[in-house]
Amino acid sequence: MRSGLTFLLAYPVLALAHFHLQFPPPRGPFVADNESKYCDGYATTTENRTQFPLSGGFYSFHSGHQDWTFGVQIANISNPTSFDNFTTAVDFSPNNGAGVYCFPIDLEKSGVKNLTDGAKVTLQFVFSGGDGNLYQCADIILVKDLTVGSNVTCANKTMISTSSSGSSATPAATGSTSGTKEVVASTFLVGLAGLAAVASAYL
């Protein structure tokens, strides 16, 4: 099982919590003191999984850092319990610019085995702004030909620092999509409620 965490683990673990997963919704309300732990301290999967496109999906988060490294891990089992259960779904890469980011993700083409319609999997989002690794997890169920509901927006609102150096990834186009099959977004709204409780401390 290949892991993209190796080089990130070299950083000292000092969680300043400048990373907020927005979609898919995390396992539970954001806990700043736990974000340096596996899945932000939520060690068990939730039964209330978010429906997520097998292909043509996206993920979004807020970065409070101007320079950061980000990647996506996936566990293709229903109840992962440690970092060892995860493999790389999106390669880790450096980026710059604080704000809200939205990136496309096509799990069907990721090369990870056993990602099929109806599979229960967990995504682990790994963020490093240079002050330690931060982790949040989202438990999802993959649905073929699913279109994310129009009430879940993929938008980019970034403030690029003119003094920063390094390459910057190109986010997905701003906008939202709708279709005959839509994500049930109740868990998304619950997740946002948890994030809102601490947002003022970091924005």
What's the rounded Cα separation, in Å, for the pair 2 and 202? 33
Supply the pLDDT for residue 154.
86
Supply the pLDDT for residue 39.
94
Supply the pLDDT for residue 108.
93
Beta carbons of 21 and 136 less than 8 angstroms apart: yes
Supply the pLDDT for residue 193.
37
Q: pLDDT tens digits, the chain, 203 residues: what are they?
A: 444 443 333 333 333 447 889 999 999 888 888 989 999 999 999 988 999 999 999 999 988 878 889 999 999 998 999 999 999 999 998 888 888 889 999 999 998 988 999 999 999 999 988 878 899 999 999 999 998 888 888 877 754 443 333 333 444 444 443 333 333 333 333 333 333 433 333 34
What's the rounded Cα separation, in Å, for the pair 129 and 17? 9
| Domain 8-198, CATH number (from 3.60.20.10, 3.40.640.10, 2.60.40.10, 3.30.420.340) | 2.60.40.10
Could you tell me where the beta strands, DSSP code E, fall in 48-171? 50-53, 57-63, 67-75, 87-96, 98-105, 120-128, 133-143, 157-159
Q: Residue 123: which of 186, 69, 174, 58 has the closest Cα? A: 58
Task: Reduce the DSSP state of residue 73 to 3 states and report it.
Answer: strand
Phi, psi of 173 (to 5 degrees): -60, 140
Task: Output the six-digit token pair for 99.
Answer: 């704000």
DSSP code of residue 201:
T
What's the rounded Cα separation, in Å, for the pair 190 and 179? 23
**Distance between the two ends of the chain, CA-based, in angstroms?**
37
Supply the pLDDT for residue 62.
86
pTM attached to this predicted model: 0.70
Buried b (16+ CB within 10 A) or exposed e, 88-108: bbbebeebbbbebbbbebebb
Supply the pLDDT for residue 66.
81
Beta carbons of 26 and 40 less than 8 angstroms apart: yes
